[in-house]
């Protein structure tokens, strides 16, 4: 994954005059009345009123827009919807993934707080496109205040005939249910989320069968992230072409960059995809805090490989550019680290999180995450040895691609790439090598003892 990136240009066009559409600056937009005053639920009405718009047309528009999932994997949304089988006598489900538990990711929260109706309208349009009967919104339990607020708004939607039986007098009926998570990161993984919704322990499922074939209670199910679904009304309102021409060609659209760490103005910022990392840090976030040097970036949540500052030069925030640079877009939750950051200590914190959150089903993950944490901890405490670095790489090899879900990869990548890219910091913390010493009869030292370091 190591590569120097040669893309010097922003792909975000004239981003300085970009008008926000996911989080527009409208007061009280979280209230149904205000959302409707500004044209909200207009796309739903248009779709339901027009007999010429078939459900498949909505899917086609989403496909043409190039929308890719904002939950981390970046899969084509229209393509995912088209995996749903033709309707039969089974109920059909949509799960809106609002679990948002990846460290460094906090953008769905902004949508649920400031523009929840965009998400609800997206849910209803997706529901129409895939003939969904019920959508479960699986919300991170810690978002208690926004859950209460969304419950109130949902009640208003039922009262207004926008959710439930014969929506807006049409043939289309759909229920929406809010479901609170209980603090497990793994329940954000889509199949684990389904298990949890079914009332079981949040254990990820083997795939295949994929959820479109056999999802909730064995019925066809699609899982989409909050921000992904919030993009759907925008695709219909502004047109798939507008969406496809906003930001990076291969990964288009507006996106919420959740920027934290050592910058002057951390926060959630909406811009097109394809922003230069340097523009986001220097202009959007007002530069590095206390004038420190930029050292590293974790571009899309804790599981994405950290990049050194030099790897970020000319790199833009879209999947292609980040892949060339040696990382991933993930959730666009960007953690910016300055020159004072101790990368060993950073990694220790990350490995602790993954050790704590592994569901324990697969041996490589259950045992591997524990060993990753223990070994990184002992290096951080000055008790490690040089050979521990090889041991960590070996552990990553044993974990990646060998488990039921992608959690093990998410736990291994930060280890592999933090060591690979900041190796000198790890070497500086391991115990000094024990070199062979010359025979010293008085102390009984063995001159032939091998060095213990690799």
**Residues at the interface with ligand FMN (CB under 6 A):** 69-73, 75, 80, 97, 99-102, 185-186, 188-190, 223-225, 228, 405-407, 410
Instruction: Give yes or no for residue 403 binding ligand SF4 (CB under 6 A).
Output: yes
Segment interacting with ligand SF4, rule: CB under 6 A, options 3-11, 292-300, 399-407, 446-454: 399-407
State the nearest-atom distance from the C-beta of 303 to ligand SF4, in Å.
Answer: 12
Q: In this complex, which beta carbon is closest to ligand FMN, that of residue 30 or of residue 205?
A: 205
Residues 402, 362: Cα–Cα separation, whole Å:
9
How far apart are alpha carbons 38 and 56 in whole angstroms?
Answer: 27
Helix (H), strand (E), coil (C) string for 322-384: HHHHCCCCCCCEEEEEECCCCHHHHHHHHHHHHHHHCCCCCHHHHHHHHHHHHHHHHHHCCCC
71 binds, among ligand SF4, ligand FMN, none (CB under 5 to 8 A by kind): ligand FMN
Q: Which one of the spans 86-94, 100-108, 173-181, 402-410 is the region binding ligand SF4 (CB under 6 A)?
A: 402-410
Contact 135, 177 (CB under 8 A): yes
Site for ligand SF4 in 180-239 (CB under 6 A): 186, 204
Judged by CB under 6 A, does residue 361 bind ligand SF4?
Answer: yes
Compute the Cα dihedral for 153, 154, 156, 161 and give only its sign. Answer: positive
Stretch touching ligand SF4 by CB under 6 A, among 209-217, 292-300, 312-320, 359-367:
359-367
Nearer to ligand FMN, 76 or 170 (CB): 76
Site for ligand SF4 contains 335 (CB under 6 A): no
What is the C-alpha to C-alpha distance for residues 58 and 124, in angstroms, rounded to an integer? 11
Which of ligand FMN, ligand SF4, none has residue 115 at its interface (CB below 5 to 8 Å by kind)? none
Task: Look up residue 273 and give its two tokens.
Answer: 């995809």
**Nearest C-alpha neighbor of 365 from the set 311, 419, 403:** 403
| Closer residue to ligand SF4, CB minimum distance, 127 or 204 | 204
Q: Which is nearer to ligand SF4, 204 or 258 (CB)?
A: 204
* Alpha-carbon span 44 to 47, nearest angstrom: 5
- 72 touches ligand SF4 by CB under 6 A: no
Minimum distance of ligand SF4 from residue 411's CB (angstroms): 8
- CA 124 to each of CA 44, 96, 112, 254, 422: distance values in angstroms, whole numbers, following the listed order: 7, 11, 16, 20, 46
Query: Which of 305/364 has CB closer to ligand SF4?
Result: 364
Total residues found in the chain within this entry: 454
- Farthest CA pair distance, the chain: 98
The only residue of 157, 312, 335, 359 in contact with ligand SF4, by rule CB under 6 A: 359
- Compute the least distance from the CB of residue 110 to ligand FMN, in Å: 14
**Distance of closest approach, residue 243 Cβ to ligand SF4, in angstroms:** 33
Instruction: Confirm if 213 and 93 have CB atoms less than 8 A apart.
Output: no
Q: What share of the chain is helix, strand, coil (3-state, %, to 5)?
A: 45, 15, 40
CB of 398: closest distance to ligand SF4 in angstroms? 12
């Amino acid at each position: 994954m190591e590569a120097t990136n040669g893309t010097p240009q922003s792909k975000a066009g004239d981003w300085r005059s970009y008008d926000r559409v996911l989080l527009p600056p409208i007061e009280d937009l979280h209230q149904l009345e205000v959302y409707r005053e500004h044209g909200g639920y207009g796309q739903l009405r248009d779709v339901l009123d027009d007999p010429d718009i078939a459900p498949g047309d909505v899917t086609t528009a989403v496909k043409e827009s190039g929308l890719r999932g904002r939950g981390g994997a970046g899969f084509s949304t229209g393509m995912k919807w088209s995996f749903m089988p033709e309707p039969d006598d089974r109920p059909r489900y949509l799960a809106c993934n609002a679990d948002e538990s990846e460290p460094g990711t906090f953008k769905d929260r902004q949508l649920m707080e400031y523009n929840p109706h965009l998400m609800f309208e997206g849910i209803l349009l997706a529901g129409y496109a895939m003939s969904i009967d019920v959508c479960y919104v699986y919300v991170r339990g810690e978002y208690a205040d926004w859950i209460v607020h969304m419950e109130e708004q949902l009640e208003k939607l039922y009262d207004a005939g926008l959710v439930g039986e014969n929506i807006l007098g049409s043939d289309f009926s759909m229920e929406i249910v809010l479901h609170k998570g209980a603090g497990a990161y793994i329940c954000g993984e889509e199949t684990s989320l389904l298990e949890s919704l079914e009332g079981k322990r949040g254990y990820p499922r083997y795939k295949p069968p994929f959820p479109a074939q056999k999802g909730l209670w064995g019925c066809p199910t699609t899982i989409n992230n909050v921000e992904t679904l919030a993009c759907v009304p925008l695709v219909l309102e502004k047109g798939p072409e507008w969406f496809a021409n906003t930001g990076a060609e291969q990964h288009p659209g507006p996106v919420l960059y959740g920027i934290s760490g050592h910058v002057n103005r951390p926060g959630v910022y909406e811009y097109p995809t394809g922003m230069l990392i340097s523009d986001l840090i220097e202009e959007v976030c007002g530069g590095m805090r206390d004038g420190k040097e930029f050292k590293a970036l974790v571009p899309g949540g804790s599981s994405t490989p950290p990049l050194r500052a030099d790897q970020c030069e000319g790199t833009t925030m879209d999947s292609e550019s980040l892949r060339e640079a040696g990382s991933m877009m993930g959730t666009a939750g960007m953690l910016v680290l300055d020159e004072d950051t101790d990368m060993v200590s950073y990694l220790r914190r990350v490995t602790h999180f993954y050790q704590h959150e592994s569901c324990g089903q697969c041996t490589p993950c259950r045992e591997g995450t524990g060993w990753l944490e223990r070994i990184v901890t002992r290096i951080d405490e000055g008790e490690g040895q040089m050979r521990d670095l090889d041991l960590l790489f070996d552990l990553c090899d044993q974990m990646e691609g060998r488990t039921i879900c992608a959690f093990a990869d998410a736990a291994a990548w930060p280890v592999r790439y933090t060591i690979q890219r900041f190796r000198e910091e790890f070497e500086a913390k391991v115990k000094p090598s024990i070199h062979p010493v010359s025979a010293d009869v008085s102390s009984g030292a063995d001159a032939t003892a091998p060095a213990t370091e690799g």
